[in-house]
Amino acid sequence: MLLSEKMLAALNNQVKLEAESSQVYLGIASWLETQPGLEGYTEFFYRQSDEERHHMLKLIHYINDRDGHAIITALDMPKNTFGQVIEVFQDFLDNELLVSKSINDLVELSLNEKDYLTFKFLQWYLDEQLEEEKMAKTMLEKLQLVGSDRGGIYQLDKDIVGLRTKVSETKEGE
């Protein structure tokens, strides 16, 4: 079953959105790496960037496997400087909410088009987005609790390594 033109265009838009997410997180990681003592946050966002690239590649393969053609487009330059770590996590949550909305729109389109293969394919992305939103929200809430306390920010920097590892182990066990 071939993808409809409408579905192909929507999936290609999602490819771009996943690529942009990867770039956003790469920009965040690069900035964090220049801030002293934030190695945990830095590693978290480098891995997050890699994960978004994986999401993009999964979409590309799906499109091409369905006899479509995944289009790779130019990307806008992401934000490269931030005021505080809490701003980074607000941007992280905002981006994940944007991606979730886009995935939900794709699911709706797949149902409207009676494209049940794409609907099934997108279930993985729905589960992934639930996890990503929860992680972003949790970290943002923790940073809001510690405020500008440098000791709290430092401790959360150490904790995020464990959070990322825990999430990775959960994914591998699926």
| Structure tokens, 1 | 């079953």
**What's the pTM value of the predicted model, to 2 decimals?**
0.91
Judge contact between 115 and 1, C-beta under 8 A.
yes
Instruction: Report which of 104, 89, 56 is spatially closest to residue 159, judged by C-alpha positions.
Output: 89
**pLDDT tens-digit profile of 75-85?**
999 999 999 99
CATH architecture under which domain 5-172 falls: Up-down Bundle (1.20)
Token pair in block for residue 169: 């182990």
Cβ atoms of residues 31 and 81 within 8 Å: yes
pLDDT digits 0-9 by tens, 152-169: 998 999 888 776 555 555
How many CA atoms does the CB half-sphere of 81 hold within 13 Å?
A: 1
